[in-house]
């Protein structure tokens, strides 16, 4: 939508929910018992509402995020609902302070809601506004820590849904635990399914190299965040000594973090998080960096919006299928042969108001 004709922003409304998870999310760096979400509704002066959600990681962040967006409403009210222009304005406004943390999460959520608003105003899915087409996007099923015996039925269910790639989280025990766990999962899913593992930043570089060498025999597609996300030198060291591709990026804040990681040689693959890189506008800015560095790009969380940006992303790899928001969405994303297809108008999300009230926090 041309900026000159974009409707003006009338209001920003938020609601906090603690949505139940269909399966527990346990990681080497802690457990998440439910999905703390902040739902955004950005209304225009023409009566069109754009929607998005923010994942708070813990319910402790939700009130602060809501309060910040309430104050931000006074800044953006009356401005055209043109996400790229507003992104630039807010980037300048928070230049001295920086946009990491809760500020970046809120700004990214606002950007996604504005893209949804534009799509709804035009009656088109966001992927078409970006110059792409509505096409199926390959996804992998994303698990927390699993027990190959107790969770066998769930893993087999993923295969029945058409997933040809599965990720599990490891690192909660010693190397022997990792080996037993990965061996058990590989036995369940078979040799043809791609298998990824995620250490969730739990190891030192020397320990990561030791464990990855032992995991080589399981034909893993990637090892994710073996060391702390901010340890770019550690990631580069692990990458240089690993025969398995190293994946990182979900904790990059906006484009500069990606540029620093690329310069450090920190990864073979990348998976930016829409909520941490500036929403859809921020994602579009990152795509060129990934293409220039020959980095395949996967998404992190945000199934609904990720399905719209990956079709226009050079070197698009996988959509992470970790379903956090479906309990409060009227018609959750559907799977077909292990793929998610973007829906519209906008991002294709409407709230299930009954569920929202039930899970209000």
Residues 343, 120: Cα–Cα separation, whole Å: 11
Q: Is 300 a catalytic residue?
A: yes
Please state, for a pLDDT cut of 70, what percent of the chain lies above it: 98
Sign of CA dihedral 25, 14, 284, 339: positive
DSSP secondary structure letter of residue 46 = T
| Ranges in the chain, pLDDT < 50 | 1-4
The string of DSSP letters for 67-126 reads: HHHHHHHHHHTTSB--HHHHHHHHHHHTTTT---HHHHHHHHHHHHHHHHHHHHHHTSBH
Residue 163 φ then ψ, to 5°: -65, 130
Residues 69, 117: Cα–Cα separation, whole Å: 17
The token pair at 65 is: 């995020």
Q: Is 308 a catalytic residue?
A: no
Q: What per-residue confidence (pLDDT) applies to 149?
A: 96
The token pair at 33 is: 């018992």
Q: What per-residue confidence (pLDDT) applies to 33?
A: 84
Burial category of 26 from C-beta neighbours within 10 Å (exposed 0-12, middle 13-18, buried 19 and up): middle
Residues 105, 115: Cα–Cα separation, whole Å: 16
Rama region for 254: left / alpha / beta (φ>0; ψ in -120 to 50; rest) = left
Rama region for 225: left / alpha / beta (φ>0; ψ in -120 to 50; rest) = left
CATH class (in words) of the domain with range 128-353: alpha beta
The token pair at 298 is: 């996967």
Sign of CA dihedral 184, 185, 190, 195: negative
CATH number of 3-123: 3.30.390.10
Q: What per-residue confidence (pLDDT) applies to 131?
A: 97
Residue 86 φ then ψ, to 5°: -70, -35
Count CB atoms within 10 A of the CB of residue 184: 18
Q: Where are the domains of the chain?
A: 3-123, 128-353
How far are the Cα atoms of 21, 22, 36, 168 from residue 25, in angstroms, in the given order? 8, 9, 13, 10
Cβ-proximal residues to 26 (8 Å cutoff; 6+ apart), any chain:
144, 145, 169, 172
Active-site position among 167, 235, 276, 300: 300
Residues 92, 302: Cα–Cα separation, whole Å: 26
pLDDT tens figures, 340-361: 999 999 999 999 999 999 999 9
Task: Map residue 295 onto helix, strand or coil.
Answer: coil
Active-site position among 169, 276, 308, 317: 169
pTM of the model: 0.95
């Amino acid at each position: 939508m041309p900026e000159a004709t974009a409707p003006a922003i009338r209001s920003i409304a938020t609601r906090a929910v603690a949505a139940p998870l269909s399966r527990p999310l346990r990681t080497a760096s802690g457990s998440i018992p439910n999905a703390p979400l902040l739902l955004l509704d950005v209304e225009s002066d023409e009566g069109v509402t754009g929607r998005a959600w923010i994942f708070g990681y813990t319910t402790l962040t939700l009130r602060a995020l809501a309060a910040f967006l309430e104050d931000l409403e006074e800044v953006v009210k009356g401005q055209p609902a043109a996400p790229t222009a507003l992104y630039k304005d807010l980037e300048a406004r928070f230049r001295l302070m920086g946009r990491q943390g809760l500020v970046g999460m809120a700004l990214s959520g606002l950007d996604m809601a504005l893209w949804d608003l534009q799509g709804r105003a035009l009656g088109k899915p966001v992927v078409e506004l970006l110059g792409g087409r509505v096409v199926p996007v390959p996804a992998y099923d994303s698990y927390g820590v699993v027990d190959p015996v107790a969770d066998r039925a769930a893993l087999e269910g993923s295969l029945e849904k058409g997933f040809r790639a599965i990720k599990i989280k490891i690192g909660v025990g010693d190397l022997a635990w990792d080996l037993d766990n990965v061996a058990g999962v590989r036995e369940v899913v078979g040799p043809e399914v791609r298998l990824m593992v995620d250490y969730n930043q739990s190891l030192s570089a020397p320990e990561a190299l030791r464990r990855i060498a032992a995991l080589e025999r399981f034909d893993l597609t990637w090892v994710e965040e073996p060391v702390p996300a901010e340890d770019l030198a550690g990631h580069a060291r692990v990458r240089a000594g690993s025969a398995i591709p190293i994946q990182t990026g979900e904790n990059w804040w906006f484009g500069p973090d990606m540029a620093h990681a690329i310069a450090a040689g920190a990864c073979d693959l990348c998976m930016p998080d829409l909520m941490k890189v500036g929403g859809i506008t921020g994602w579009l800015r990152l795509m060129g960096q990934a293409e220039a560095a020959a980095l395949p790009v996967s998404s992190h969380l945000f199934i609904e919006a990720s399905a719209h940006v990956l079709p226009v992303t050079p070197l698009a790899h996988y959509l992470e299928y970790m379903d956090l928001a479906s309990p409060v969405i009227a018609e959750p994303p559907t799977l077909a042969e292990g793929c998610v297809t973007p829906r519209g108008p906008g991002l294709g999300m409407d709230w299930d108001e009954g569920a929202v009230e039930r899970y209000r926090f």
